[in-house]
Amino acid sequence: MGPGPSDVHPRVLRAMSTPLVGHLDPSFIDIMNEVQELMRYTFRTDNKWTIPVSGTGSASMEAAIGNLVEPGDTMLVPTNGYFGGRMESMAERAGGEVVHVDAPWGEPLDPADVQDAFDEHQPDVFGFVHAETSTGVKQPGVPELTSIAHDHDALVVADTVTSLGGVELEVDDWGIDVAYSGPQKCLSCPPGASPLTLNDRAMDKVLSREEPPRSWYLDLSLLEGYWGDDRSYHHTAPITNVYAIREALRLVAEEGIEERWARHRRVAGALKAGVEAMGLGLNPEDEYWLPSLNAVLVPDGVDAGAAIDYVLDHYDLEIAGGLGALAGDIFRVGCMGHSARPENVSFLLTALGEALEAQGADVDPEAGFAAMREQLGQ
C-alpha cells in the first residue's frame, strides 16, 4: 500500500510461469499485437506507436524524453514534485536546455503560469506530471495545458506513471502527444515492460532527427523496426514481462477502463474519508486529490519513519514517507490496481491508527473505521 509496486494480481503471476518462446516466434508476435491493442485501449488512444519499453518506468520516461529532445531544443518542466526534477535531468542529458514552470510541492501547475513560461521561453517540448507520486497531486485541466503548448507549436510529454489504469486519462481527447507509464502501479504488474505511446506528430520528430539519440537501446527509430510492421530484431524482449503486462491489460479490459477508474475513486475515497475522520488531513486539496496515491499528513509530534516501521513490523504492511520538500511531512499511501480493495483499506486504517496511537498522537481510529464503512456503504 505504498507508492508502488502494488500487489500483483494472481492471474498475472500465473502468466509469468508460461514457458518462454523466442522473441521473434510467430506466437509471440501475436502476443505483441495483443499487448499493443490493449495498451491503446488503456491509454485511450489510437496511436500506432504504442509499445511496452523493455525496462522499468524510468526507461519508458527516458525513451520519451531522450528521443523527443534534441541538442539545442528547449524543454519546459515543472518544479512541483520529484519527477519534474527527473524530467529535467533526462532532458539535460539529451542535450536540451531546460526552463521551468514553478509551483509549490503539493500543488498543481497553474495554466496562467504555463502560459507565461511559454511566452517567455518558447520551448520546443513541454513535460508535465499527470499524477505526481511524490506529492499525491493530480494535475487538473490537462486540455488547457496542451492547448497552450500546441498554440506555441510545442510537443507535450505526460508522465502517467501513477495514473494509467487508475484515474481518468484521455491521451487523444486531451491532446497529449507522448505519454509514458510504469506497469507496477495501477496496472498491478511487475516492472520490466513499461507503456509508452506517441502520436504521429511526435514520431515524425523522432524519425527526422538530425542526429540519433544518445541511447542506442532506447532509440525509437530502431525500436520501430521491432514493434512496427517489420517485426525485425533489435534486442531480446523480456518475454516473461510481456506475458505479464498482457495479462494485466486483459484485466483492465475485462473490468472496463471507466469502471476501473470508478473503483479507484470509490475505494480510495473510503481511505480518504477514514483518515480524515481519524483526525488526519491530506496534503492536496480535494480538487486535485489523486486517488491512486494518498498523501496523508503526519500529525505534529509523530516520527513518520517510526510509524512506517511500526506498520511494517507489526502488520507486514508497506507504506512510505515523503520525498524532497515533503520528507517527514506525509505518509504516501497507495491505492492502486489489485491493491485498491476495501479489505486493504480496512487493514491499513487499523495498522496506521495503532502506529500513531503508539506515539501518543491524538487520533480516533474507530471514527476512521466507521467513516470508511459508511463511504463504502457497508
Half-sphere exposure of 346 (CA within 13 A, CB side): 9
* Same domain membership, residue 151 and residue 248: yes
* Residue 271 included in any domain: yes
Say yes or no: 245 and 266 in one domain: no
**CA 367 – CA 140 distance, rounded (Å):** 31
Residue 1, domain member (yes or no)? no
Q: Are residues 325 and 358 in the same domain?
A: yes
Provide the pLDDT for residue 358.
97
**Is the domain of 197 the same as that of 291?**
no
CA–CA dist 167, 170 (Å, integer):
10
* 63 and 194 assigned to the same domain: yes
Do the beta carbons of residue 295 and residue 284 sit within 8 Å? yes
Q: Are 174 and 325 in contact (CB under 8 A)?
A: no
Q: Are residues 327 and 190 in the same domain?
A: no
In sequence order, what are the beta bridge partners of 156?
Answer: 126
Distance CA 333, CA 294 (A): 5
State the CATH number of the domain containing residue 28. Answer: 3.40.640.10
Split into its structural domains, the chain has a count of 2
Strand 178-180, strand 192-198: pairing = antiparallel
Among 223, 253, 283, where does a domain finish?
253
d(CA 259, CA 196): 23
Let me know: does 51 contact 101? Beta carbons within 8 Å.
Answer: no
pLDDT number for residue 150: 98
Does residue 302 form part of some domain?
Answer: yes
Q: Is residue 3 part of a domain?
A: no
- Say which CATH number the domain at 329 has: 3.90.1150.10
Quick: pLDDT tens for 297-337.
999 999 999 999 999 999 999 999 999 889 999 999 999 99
Residue 315 falls within a domain, yes or no? Answer: yes
Q: Are residues 307 and 223 in the same domain?
A: no
Q: How many CA atoms lie within 13 A of 28 on its CB side?
A: 21
Both 89 and 70 in one domain: the answer is yes
Q: In this prediction, what percent of the chain has a pLDDT beyond 70?
A: 100
Whether residue 2 lies inside any domain: the answer is: no
What is the per-residue pLDDT across 246-286, written as a single tens digit (0 to 9) for each?
Answer: 999 999 999 999 999 999 999 999 999 999 999 999 998 99
Are residues 35 and 160 both part of a single domain?
A: yes
- Predicted confidence (pLDDT) per residue in 42-66, tens digit: 999 999 999 999 999 999 999 999 9
Neighbours of 53 (CB within 10 A): 27
- Write down which residue in 204, 219, 253 finishes a domain: 253
Q: How high is the pLDDT of residue 135?
A: 95
Nearest to 190 by CA among 302, 318, 312, 57: 57
The domain containing residue 14 runs over which residues?
Answer: 8-253
pLDDT at position 378 is: 65
Do residue 188 and residue 269 come from a single domain?
Answer: no
Q: Are residues 217 and 350 in the same domain?
A: no
| Distance, C-alpha 345 to centroid of its chain | 21
* Distance from C-alpha of 174 to C-alpha of 148, rounded to nearest angstrom: 12
Residue that is last in its domain, among 207, 228, 253: 253
Claim to verify: residue 209 and residue 179 sit in the same structural domain: yes
Q: Where are the beta strands (DSSP E) in the chain?
A: 49-55, 74-78, 97-101, 125-129, 131-132, 137-138, 155-159, 178-180, 192-198, 293-297, 320-321, 330-334
Distance CA 76, CA 59 (A): 20
Cβ–Cβ < 8 Å for 166, 186: yes
Low-confidence stretches of the chain (pLDDT < 70) are: 378
Question: What is the per-residue pLDDT for 377?
Answer: 87
